[in-house]
Chains A and B, each alone.
Chain A
């Protein structure tokens, strides 16, 4: 293909804006389940006439769940998308992520053992994919990047890391 020449030697960037929507939706689902459970507990505490302190505890749980879910969905998921950056170079991968605690990861290409792509229903709806980069010491995700770009990136990492070569030990 002719676009090999135009392939940049380094891929760096942030997550697309759609990723934010996906993050928000998936954490909304998570908190909805939490709300159903805590709501059920509150209802049970009223219906079965549990001790007052237990009822208050249930109310408190519900309130915490509500407040935290709002903060998480509105602020944290936005930060999760904004604050993620990746930089894939021929010799190394750098990832920077973190909502409150920041993480800087540096993986030399030679240590990369596999690259996976995965896609849940939410990601599929928005045409995104998550790439997992695995080394002998653990794996790291580049979540929610655009599908076709994910494919290019994955293939490029595989080429850089020469994964196709059989690793004879």
Chain B
């Protein structure tokens, strides 16, 4: 209909440069190996290899060029159209009202060239239902977001028929962009504390050994590390202590740098009916989650941060695409518990946290302890058979296994509070999960023979969205039945009290 009137846009021409840079970046290791470190054109094979790689590179860049040339998009008031594809032309059209959220992402190269990547997300889970503008100028991004905002407002108006005519005069005011309100910004201090309380401090040892051995493949380091080994054997305890200490400090610094790059300038904003999370120093990303898509809230406490009362808060949201799902739904990476609860109670008040949670009965502990640990048995068997000298490490292993079960017994809590169900699970890392009845897709109660003997069972709650299943283990059977009853549409609404 209006096809002729559409103005088609290409992505800006510097996106082409960006694509070329990305291609070179993905080939950087072979390029450096073949043309810098070992630039040897003497053998026939070497020439074929190098010419081949250059040809391949050229083809890839050509393909990217045509990809850029053939990608066009256009908008009218209701729909966005995209034409894409080198060999097979694809035309997509997507009604604007279906677009639930816009995520912007600017990796380092994008920032260098001053463009952003926009992802338009519908709430459907299929890939087809979303599309991406990989590289547009910020002002164009803003224009698109503004258009979407207007569409949303139009929809909101038609959805809610105005009852009193008096309101009609005020609606134009409401069309103005919803004011964004900063809920939380991460401070430098919090990043430092988080880095200090991270277990990844100890990850330096495996990481370092991997790096050393992979460098070793290219450059001969054999001698160097053997001398270090010799030195360690002959050095005094103080020297080794200092060495370990400095390695730990180094790893804290590395952790800090990583956390700064990842969470630097972290901002949580509320814009009308959506939540916006921005984060990252080099790779900056912004993600939006509409309020009505929030399925559940999860509070995470890691083993060490629990002692410092530092928690992380995550949203379980429906319809987020694969590439955006990890980490991006974190709305508070590491904050003091009180602060987190304040934000949650104030701005996510559709979810109500309970004050009192129920603990597991004593018999659950027995079930947990009696359960066979296949992992422990297999490891013990292997160690006892093949490495009997190291058998005493098994004590540590079993201490961790039993300790984990004890902790799991102590941390597991649950509550049903009106429409809400709140679960707190985990052993070393604890997380609390809160959702409400309309958002639960299904409940599954399972009971193993051992659990049957002790009259307890597991309950699995599923909501929409990724990582949306939550299991609570070894709760009393009556309680599980009560939960099923609570969830059943046939139970008359009444304020059910959970037995203590």
Contact = CB atoms under 8 A, between A and B. Distances in A.
A-B complex is real: yes
Interface of A: 89, 91-92, 98, 100-109, 111, 135-138, 169
A117 B319 CA distance: 26
Contact of A137 (B98, B442, B489): B442
A108 B443 CA distance: 9
Contacts of A136: 318, 441, 464-465
A101 B447 CA distance: 5
A137 B462 contact: yes
Contacts of A111: 441-442
A168 B30 CA distance: 49
A107 B441 contact: yes
Contacts of A104: 444-446, 484
A106 B484 CA distance: 7
Interface string B483-498: 0100111100000000
B490 A89 contact: yes
B463 interface: yes
Nearest to B441: A137
Contacts of B318: 136
B192 interface: no
Nearest to B123: A169
B442 A135 contact: yes
Contacts of A101: 446-449
A10 to B, nearest CB: 10
Nearest to A167: B124
A92 B488 contact: yes
Interface in B448-500: 448-449, 452, 462-465, 468-469, 484, 487-490
B441 A106 contact: no
Given A111-B441, A136-B464, A91 B490 contact: yes
B167 to A, nearest CB: 26
Interface string B45-56: 000000000000
B380 interface: no
A104 B445 CA distance: 5
B442 A105 contact: yes
Contacts of B124: 169
Contacts of B487: 106, 108
B122 interface: yes
B463 A137 contact: yes
B464 A92 contact: no
A149 B266 CA distance: 57
B442, B469, B484, B488 pick with most chain A CB within 10 angstroms: B442
Contact of B442 (A91, A100, A102, A138): A138
B464 A169 contact: no
A140 to B, nearest CB: 8
Contacts of A89: 490
Given A136-B318, A137-B464, A169-B98, A103 B448 contact: no
B444 A103 contact: yes
A8 B490 CA distance: 17
16 contacts: A101-B447, A102-B452, A103-B445, A104-B446, A105-B444, A106-B484, A109-B489, A111-B441, A135-B442, A135-B462, A136-B318, A137-B441, A137-B442, A137-B469, A138-B441, A169-B100
Contacts of B441: 107, 111, 135-138
Contact of B468 (A105, A107, A137, A169): A137
Nearest to B481: A104
Nearest to B443: A106
Given A103-B444, A104-B444, A106-B484, A92 B490 contact: yes
A100 B464 contact: no
B489 A91 contact: yes
Contacts of B122: 169
Nearest to B449: A100
A111 B464 CA distance: 10
Interface string B403-447: 000000000000000000000000000000000000001111111
Nearest to A140: B442
A138 B444 CA distance: 11
Contacts of A106: 442-444, 484, 487-488
Nearest to B319: A169
Given A108-B487, A137-B441, 15 more contacts: A91-B489, A91-B490, A92-B490, A100-B449, A102-B447, A106-B484, A106-B488, A111-B442, A136-B465, A137-B442, A137-B462, A137-B469, A138-B462, A169-B100, A169-B122
A169 to B, nearest CB: 5
Contacts of B484: 104, 106
Contacts of A107: 441-442
Contacts of A109: 489
A101 to B, nearest CB: 5
Contacts of B464: 136-137
Contacts of B447: 101-102
A48 B471 CA distance: 49
A84 to B, nearest CB: 15
A100 to B, nearest CB: 6
A137 B487 CA distance: 16
A102 B488 contact: no
A92 B487 CA distance: 10
A108 B444 CA distance: 12
A36 to B, nearest CB: 28
Contacts of B449: 100-101
Contacts of A92: 488-490
**4 residue pairs, one from A and one from B, having the closest CB atoms:** A137-B462, A137-B441, A91-B489, A104-B445
Contacts of B319: 169
